[in-house]
Amino acid sequence: MESEITIRPEVVLKGIAAAPGIACGAAYLYSKHVPQVQVKSIVPKEVEGEVQRLRNATSRSEKELSKIHAFAEQRLGSQNARIFEAQIMILSDQILMGSIEKRIGAELKNAEAIVADEINKYKRVMLASPDEYMHERAHDVDDIMNRIIRNIQDQKLYSRLEGESIIVSETLAPADTVVFSRNQILGYATDMGGVTSHAAILSRSLKIPAVVGLRTATKLIKTGDTIALDGYAGVVVLNPTEETLQTLMQKRQRFKEFEERLVDIAGLPAETPDHKHIELSANIEFDDEIEFCRQQGSAGIGLFRTESQLIGKERYPTEEEQYEVYRAVADGISPHSVIFRTFDVGGDKIGPDTEHEENPFLGWRGIRAMLDRPELFLAQLRSILRASSGKNVRIMFPMVSNVTEILRAKAMVEQAKKELNTRGMPYDAGVKVGVMVEIPAAAVMADQIAGEVDFLSIGTNDLIQYLLAVDRNNNAVQSVYQPFHPAVLRTIKHIIEAGHKRGVWVGMCGEMAGDPLATVLLVGLGIDELSVIPVVLPEIKKIILSIRQRDAKRVAEKALSLPTDQEVRDYLWSVMRDRLPEIPFEEQSDIGVPP
Ligand code: PEP
Ligand code: MG
């Protein structure tokens, strides 16, 4: 009988590109060993022993985490290793640990049952939040819980991996990412997570390619399966064909050569060959991202999302607490400047006092919410102003829909200045104030709005959602969410022209600013500033350095004459291929499209 060779079909999984690079190899399915917890009753004389077991386990967990912390510090630097300090702090939280110990005695139950119950309470609160960042942090809490329980039960951690592998898992905690990096890890593929997950941030720092948000990777992939991971396109291919492997290897080579050349341009200003200077800056949420921005050659911070400080907080931070953060950012990025966007709470970003709304994206969001809470708003403005004394700080208001809001917000800035004068505190009296143009009404009124401010920054993430009436977070309508929709292009053109007529610069800080396919178009439309996620910054700079504004203008004119987003995309692809062949663009038709 003839032996049958089964050729397993190639399966393409589309996720989110979290850390650049390409990896091919054997998968290692990492299913976190979740220790089983049984609730057991104990008798009073066993309480002391049980508390001792808990204390031993806590101190062992602390030792493990300290080791990981030291290793992470060595590999990643102290800023990135701070995640583990936070985990160690949970372990030494006297209130949490004290209450666990008390409950063991009061309820006469085994230590692991109380640990699981108490820490799960924390987790439930975090998971109930609609905020993606809170969900990510809930996994970190899980990690601590499992670590303590595993140590109470005296179980070993995971075994070392044999050979090189690509880790496939539902989710990865920051500690896993670092511990695994001691092995020969080629890449990470996870079902859950987003680009903001700390595991994603760490894999970028560790330079290990990663794709997150794959949803079904752990169901389809088994240990030992051959997989290819494309951290540029956000794709994982199970059972890749020879042809796919070859394409990916060529791509890896192209990107490698390209990235090596990019190192040289980090120190250069982003300027077209015919001398149109573009302020190329970065979007960040935390002060510890500054180091990476500098390495990437960023000319400042074009968007600091201050509301990220509210994550997991039960109250708004005080003026002093905020000042510390803003001061660290302003000093860290000096002599470049930073734009602090005032709290953009509401929508999918919860604040400490966010209430349920039927339509949160059309609700009490951004500047609307802050104008209604003058005390909070003034405290934030004072702290930003205090951080401005080095004259490298700008203030920006989100979700502006009319001129009146701007006048009111500016009056608040003046009031905050007066309050600082009374206290004798220094600030930059000439601090520049701008707004985000992210609501269609603001786009239509851009000329009047520009007359009231020093700069405009186009927030395409929201502008597209409101202009095209498509929820930016709803997967079911993602195909309608089109940055290259002709209406979006015309609106951007209108905003830029309106700003220029009034003599103010116009930037863009929505994700579209960091899409390499959009760069030539935006330069051609006359954009003055692009603020992008730090990881794409060198590539965007390379494009700016490569194309004359004169030519980009012609490209923009042609793109604006096309009737559909697909035609705009196809045209822009053709421009990239013809004019910038040295830039290894992400070909959508390549492997990166879901079946
Ligand atoms: C935007 O809307 O484009 C933007 C940059 O703000 P956010 O994504 O924080 O809403
Ligand atoms: Mg927005």
CA pair distance 521, 268, nearest whole angstrom: 22
355 and 230 housed in the same domain = no
Q: Whose CA is nearest to atom 7 of ligand 1?
A: 461
Question: What's 214's domain CATH number?
Answer: 3.50.30.10
Task: Using the atom order of ligand 1, give the atom closest to the CA of residue 459.
Answer: 3
Residue the block writes with tokens 């007359």: 451
Question: What's 564's domain CATH number?
Answer: 3.20.20.60
For residue 245, give both structure tokens.
Answer: 């492997």
CA pair distance 217, 191, nearest whole angstrom: 6
Q: Which residues contact 463 (CB under 8 A, 6 or more apart)?
A: 437, 438, 439, 440, 443, 488, 491, 510
Instruction: Flag residues of the chain having pLDDT under 70.
Output: 1-6, 32-33, 75-76, 79-80, 131-137, 139, 156-162, 174, 193-199, 201, 205, 311-312, 473-476, 478, 585-595
Q: Whose CA is nearest to atom 9 of ligand 1?
A: 305
Ligand with smallest separation from the Cα of 399: 2
132 and 186 housed in the same domain = no
pLDDT digits (tens, 9 = 90+) for 316-373: 999 999 999 999 999 999 999 999 999 999 887 777 877 888 898 999 999 999 999 9
Q: Which residues contact 6 (CB under 8 A, 6 or more apart)?
A: none
The answer to whether position 379 is within a domain reads: yes
The answer to whether position 64 is within a domain reads: yes
The answer to whether position 291 is within a domain reads: yes
Question: What's 132's domain CATH number?
Answer: 1.10.274.10
| pTM for the predicted model, two decimal places | 0.69
What region does 78 belong to: left with phi over 0, alpha with psi -120 to 50, or beta? alpha
CA pair distance 116, 36, nearest whole angstrom: 10
The answer to whether position 248 is within a domain reads: no
The answer to whether position 257 is within a domain reads: no
Pocket test for ligand 1, best of 311, 401, 438, 508 (most atoms within 8 A of CB): 438
Task: Using the atom order of ligand 1, give the atom closest to the CA of residue 344.
Answer: 9
Residue the block writes with tokens 């009146």: 404
10 backbone dihedrals φ, ψ, rounded to 5°: -70, 135
CA pair distance 89, 8, nearest whole angstrom: 48
506 burial level (CB within 10 Å; 0-12, 13-18, 19+):
buried
Q: Are 348 and 130 in contact (CB under 8 A)?
A: yes
137 and 165 housed in the same domain = no
Closest by alpha carbon to 436, among 419, 450, 417, 422? 450
Q: Are 15 and 235 in contact (CB under 8 A)?
A: yes
Range of the domain at 209: 11-33+158-240
Q: Which residues contact 253 (CB under 8 A, 6 or more apart)?
A: none
Helix, strand, coil percent content, the chain, rounded in steps of 5:
55, 15, 35
Task: Using the atom order of ligand 1, give the atom closest to the CA of residue 509.
Answer: 5
The answer to whether position 173 is within a domain reads: yes
365 and 346 housed in the same domain = yes
193 and 224 housed in the same domain = yes
Q: Which residues contact 424 (CB under 8 A, 6 or more apart)?
A: none
Write out the catalytic residue numbers: 198, 509
Pocket test for ligand 1, best of 281, 310, 436 (most atoms within 8 A of CB): 436
141 and 197 housed in the same domain = no
Pocket test for ligand 1, best of 305, 397, 465, 495 (most atoms within 8 A of CB): 305
| The domain boundary residue, chosen from 133, 152, 171 | 152
The answer to whether position 6 is within a domain reads: no
Task: Return the pLDDT at 12.
Answer: 87
202 and 296 housed in the same domain = no
Q: What is the DSSP letter of 594?
A: -
| The domain boundary residue, chosen from 102, 132, 152 | 152
Q: What is the DSSP letter of 334?
A: T
Task: Return the pLDDT at 589.
Answer: 32
Beta bridge partners of 25: 227
The answer to whether position 384 is within a domain reads: yes
Report the separation in Å between the CA atom of 438 and the middle of ligand 2, taken as the mean of its atom positions.
6
Task: Return the pLDDT at 401.
Answer: 98
168 and 67 housed in the same domain = no
Report the domain count for the chain.
3
99 and 195 housed in the same domain = no
Beta bridge partners of 211: 17, 189
Q: Whose CA is nearest to atom 1 of ligand 1?
A: 459
| The domain boundary residue, chosen from 240, 257, 289 | 240
390 and 460 housed in the same domain = yes
Q: What is the DSSP letter of 41?
A: B
359 and 304 housed in the same domain = yes
128 and 184 housed in the same domain = no
